[in-house]
Structure formats: C-alpha cells, structure tokens
Chain A
Amino acid sequence: MKKGQKLIDAEKNFSLWLVVAAVSHALLLFIAMYLQILDAGKHAKPKLLSVSLVSLPGTGGFNELAEKQGGTKTISTPSNVTSHPPVNKKIVKVKAPIPVPEKALVQKKKIVIEPLQPKVVEKPADISKALERIKLNVEKKTTPSQPSTASNLNDALAQLQKKVKSQGEMTGVGNGGGRGSSSTGRSSTGKGYGGGGPSAPYKAGIASIIMQNWEFSKLLLKNSYGMQVYVRINILANGTISQIVFDKRAPSEYLNNSVKKALEKSSPLPVLPKEEGASDIWIGFVFTPEGIEK
C-alpha cells in the first residue's frame, strides 16, 4: 500500500516535470521565434543605393553617330530622351562595341547584390557627366574601328528596313538604344528602333516600360552573348499590344521567351499620342544582352 502510494507520488512528480519541460520547450520556441522576428525586423529595410542609369551605352554616341551616317533618331529610356526631329525615313541600327564605364559596372554590381531594392534612383547630375564621358568613349571607339561589324549591322538593318517597309506600317524613322536594370536586380540591354517625330517621347516611354518588365538572368549571359532578338510590336490606339512579330529570333529560347514575356507584361502600354493620328503603330526593338559583362 505504502509502495503504491510512493509510486503514485513519483508518477505525479514526473508528470509535473513533464509539464515543466513542455512549457519550457514552448517558451524556448517562442523566444527563438521572437528573436528571429526581431532580427528580421532589423534587416527588413534594405540599404538604398543611389544608382544612376547612365549606362545607356549608345544614347549620346548613337545619336551623333547616326546623325553623321545619314540622320537617325535615337529612342532611349526616359532618363535620356532626346527629341531630335526626324531627318529621313531610314532605320539605321548601329551596333558597335559599346564601352561600359567602370562606374556603371560598379553600379550594376550593386544592383545585383541588393535584389530587394525596388527602384533605381537616378541622379541627373551624374547622368549628364556620364553622358559626356560615354559620348567621348563612343566617339573614340566607333569612328575607325570594326568595319566588319558595321557592315554586318548594316546588312541586318537593311533586312529590317525591307521588312518594315513591306509592312508599310512604319511611320517614323529612328533608332534608339537603352540599357536598364530591372527592379529584380537583373541587368539587361535593349535597343529600340522605330518611328521618330512627335511620338519619340512616347516610344522612349514604352521602351522604358518594356525595359523595366524585361527580366533576363545574368546567369545565361555567357551563352547568350552576342545574341539579338529583333522584334516588332503592333500597338493599338488604346495602348494594347495586338501583335508581336519576331523578325529575328535568338538561338537561346530563354532570351526569346524573356523578350516575349516582357512585351506581354508591358501590355497595355500608354495610349498612343494624338499626334500620331493612326489607329495603330508598329515599333521595332532589338534586344541584346551585350555590354553587361566585358
């Protein structure tokens, strides 16, 4: 009887310790969770980096070069929009080795490191300085160098012109270039060509929108180096992209798909400007991952 009572007491004692252990485990888990929440709260705000999108490799240079070569118009991202009047209806796509300034490279690296950074902050002062520097670099490198590249490009552009003319949809003349960094930290380069004239800011605007929506992994840059995607899009008056035509597809389906997704994601674009006067408009773009890693 006594032994039975002792056993019950021991069991009771053990049950008490069992409850204590369970409670302490729960408490420990809660403390760990609380500490993690606290830690997550500390690191929640990503460090904001001031990055200027001055790495438009051909904006200024392209403009001047194109003008020298027969008058073209550049469409670039909004931060570098230049609205020169159209000279003729030739579409010239100049592709030259584009020097990337060291500063721009460093800034890009920063973007990759901070993938949570939602927006890239632009600095107008830096842009102007960097533009000047880019202009100088491009002028230096493009004038005497690489005739073969230029001839290839001219061939490609001639083909494009034929196609565009056959479509009879191109209303303006121009050539644009731009490079942007998407919000996800991925960097890519895109060049646009299309009509100039009063709709140039509009085209620059849509180039920027597409650029923002273009997500292209840097991991595939090695494979897709030198690849190009020539694509035309038909934009209705209300801004909807009604048609996407790939004039030249890249060997990498990933690049092609990324371009297609970017265009689909960008639809609907802003409404066509009234000056355009047309019910729809065709705009061509050249997407290339070049110039990111050298």
Chain B
Amino acid sequence: MLNSKLGIFGLLSDAGPVVLFVLSVLLSFSIVSWAIIAFKIGYIRKSLNESKAFLDYFFEIYNVDKAFTESENFRKGSLPRVFRAGYIEYRALGEKTDIRQAKARIARAVKREVNAESKRLSSLVPFLATVGNTAPFIGLFGTVWGIMTSFHNIGTSQSASLAAVAPGISEALIATAAGLAAAIPAVIAYNYFTQQISIIDRDLEEFSPEFVSAFINEP
C-alpha cells in the first residue's frame, strides 16, 4: 500500500518491530497528552474565571447566605467550592458551639476543600511532565535501535553506499521526530498549567481565611 514514494509513511512500512513499538507508544503518549491538554485547559480556565467572578460578588455584598446562593452559579470555580464547603460546615454547627471551636471546624473544612481542589486541579498534569521528559528519550531509543539494525543490515549486505545507509537512518530518525512531537506540546502545556494552578492555589490560600472570618463574624 505504501510505496517508497510516500515519504515517512513509506519508510514506516519497512520499519522494524521495535521502532514500530516505540512509535506506537509515542503516538499513545501524544493522544493522552492532547486529551489532558484539552480537558485541563477548559477546566482551569473555567475555574479561574468563576473564582474571579465569585470573589467580585462576595466582596461586593459580604453576605454569606447570598454568597452561598450565588455560588450555585459557579459550580466549577475553585473558590466558590471552598466557600460552599465552609458554609455547609458553618450551618452544621449548633447554636451552642463556641466561637473558637466553630472557627477551628470551619477552618478545617475549608482547608480540606482547598486540598481537594488543589488535587483536582493538578490531577493528570504530572503526566504531561512525564511525557515531556521521557518522550524524547523513548524516541531516541527507537532511533538508536533503528540505526543499529540499519548498520547490521549494511554489514550483511556488504554495501556501504549512501543508498544502502540512508533509508535505515532516515527511518530510525522518525522515532526521534515523533518523540519530540509528543514532548514539545506536553512541556509547553505543563508549564502553562503549573503557572495557572499556582495562581489558583495562591487565591485559595489567601481567601480561605477571609471566608472563615466572614462566617464567624456574620451578623
């Protein structure tokens, strides 16, 4: 089906099993990476936008009940989620609970939600780092293996002409190219996501005490 005129696809038809395996691994890495990128980019962007909108609303009215009602519209934001967790804990407290105890319980609930939210935000992102770090090496492995095979074939055929050497090396280099193609977007996305997640984390760390004090000081 693929003849030699079809460039890299023609070369792939002659590739060895190890090179093909490496390429299939890199292809799956690339697919998963792009899925994570697409999934996370929407998730983090929504979280950032909704958090920002909720904070604006919260500082505008400074009423926990209204803020809680409004937070229902920001279900994907990290800060509204933390606020809701604190509010639920605050409402669960009985009338007899003293302020110090109530504050500690609300702070604990908020902290727990902050941690959960951090985990949720950073889930799957380390895979991008893994791809970014390992894909070039996997590709390099495929290339080294392909060149080894190529040289072995050259030795067997007893011909050292460029026509005998070049196709094998060209075929082997596809693995490195595939490794880089998988790694480059993964690294870019990883850096972008870590930066965005650190912004959200900082917001969570800074505004969690504000929520706690808002519950305690509620008139």
A13-B39, A14-B124 in contact; A40/B6 too (CB < 8 A)?
Answer: yes
A22-B31, A25-B30, A25-B31 in contact; A17/B38 too (CB < 8 A)?
Answer: yes
**Binary per-residue interface labels of chain A (20-55) against chain B in the complex, 1 for a CB within 8 Å, 0 otherwise:** 111011000000110011011001100000000000
**Does A18 reach chain B (CB closer than 8 Å)?**
yes
User: CB distance B6 to A18 under 8 Å?
Assistant: no
**Does B7 reach chain A (CB closer than 8 Å)?**
yes
User: CB distance B5 to A33 under 8 Å?
Assistant: no
Residues of B contacting A40 in the complex (Cβ-Cβ under 8 angstroms): 5-7
Contact for B35 among A14, A32, A43, CB less than 8 A: A14
Contact for A219 among B9, B124, B161, CB less than 8 A: B161
Report how far A44 CA is from B4 CA in the complex, Å.
12
User: CB distance B34 to A36 under 8 Å?
Assistant: no
A14-B124, A17-B39 in contact; A25/B34 too (CB < 8 A)?
Answer: yes
**Does B164 reach chain A (CB closer than 8 Å)?**
no
Which residue in chain A gives the minimum CB-CB distance to B162? A219
Nearest CB of A to B76, in Å: 10
Main secondary structure of the interface of B (DSSP, over half): helix
**Does B177 reach chain A (CB closer than 8 Å)?**
no
B residues 29-63 touching A (CB-CB < 8 Å): 30-32, 34-36, 38-39
Report how far A281 CA is from B5 CA in the complex, Å.
46
**Binary per-residue interface labels of chain B (1-36) against chain A in the complex, 1 for a CB within 8 Å, 0 otherwise:** 000011111000000000000000001001110111
Nearest CB of B to A20, in Å: 7
Residues of A contacting B27 in the complex (Cβ-Cβ under 8 angstroms): 25
Nearest CB of A to B13, in Å: 11
Residues of A contacting B39 in the complex (Cβ-Cβ under 8 angstroms): 13-14, 17
Residues of A contacting B36 in the complex (Cβ-Cβ under 8 angstroms): 14, 17
Report how far A25 CA is from B27 CA in the complex, Å.
8
Q: Which of A14, A32, A37 has the most CB of B within 10 A?
A: A14
Residues of B contacting A32 in the complex (Cβ-Cβ under 8 angstroms): 9
Nearest CB of B to A191, in Å: 28
Nearest CB of A to B71, in Å: 15
Residues of A contacting B34 in the complex (Cβ-Cβ under 8 angstroms): 21, 24-25
Report how far A15 CA is from B174 CA in the complex, Å.
29
Residues of A contacting B30 in the complex (Cβ-Cβ under 8 angstroms): 25
Contact for B38 among A21, A36, A37, A43, CB less than 8 A: A21
A14-B39, A25-B30, A25-B31 in contact; A36/B6 too (CB < 8 A)?
Answer: yes
Nearest CB of A to B179, in Å: 15
Q: How many residues of B contact A (CB 8 A)?
A: 16
Which residue in chain A gives the minimum CB-CB distance to B75? A6
Contact for A18 among B5, B9, B31, CB less than 8 A: B31
Q: Which of A22, A32, A39, A44 has the most CB of B within 10 A?
A: A22
Contact for A21 among B5, B35, B124, B161, CB less than 8 A: B35
Nearest CB of A to B70, in Å: 19
Report how far A25 CA is from B31 CA in the complex, Å.
7
A14-B124, A18-B32, A20-B38 in contact; A36/B7 too (CB < 8 A)?
Answer: yes
Nearest CB of A to B84, in Å: 11
Residues of B contacting A39 in the complex (Cβ-Cβ under 8 angstroms): 7
User: CB distance A44 to B5 under 8 Å?
Assistant: yes
Q: Which of B7, B8, B31 has the most CB of A within 10 A?
A: B31
User: CB distance A18 to B35 under 8 Å?
Assistant: yes
Residues of B contacting A22 in the complex (Cβ-Cβ under 8 angstroms): 31, 35
Nearest CB of B to A223, in Å: 14
Residues of A contacting B38 in the complex (Cβ-Cβ under 8 angstroms): 17, 20-21
Report how far A20 CA is from B30 CA in the complex, Å.
12
Nearest CB of A to B50, in Å: 15
Report how far A17 CA is from B124 CA in the complex, Å.
13
Residues of B contacting A13 in the complex (Cβ-Cβ under 8 angstroms): 39
A13-B39, A14-B124, A219-B161 in contact; A21/B9 too (CB < 8 A)?
Answer: no
Top 8 nearest A-B pairs (CB, nearest first) are A40-B5, A21-B34, A21-B35, A18-B35, A17-B35, A17-B39, A17-B38, A36-B7
Show 28 A/B contacts (Cβ-Cβ < 8 Å), sorted by A: A13-B39, A14-B35, A14-B36, A14-B124, A17-B36, A17-B38, A17-B39, A18-B32, A18-B35, A20-B35, A20-B38, A21-B31, A21-B34, A21-B35, A21-B38, A22-B31, A22-B35, A24-B34, A25-B27, A25-B30, A25-B34, A32-B9, A33-B6, A36-B6, A36-B7, A40-B5, A40-B7, A44-B5
Known: A14-B36, A25-B31. 6 other contacts (CB 8 A): A14-B39, A21-B34, A21-B38, A36-B7, A39-B7, A40-B7
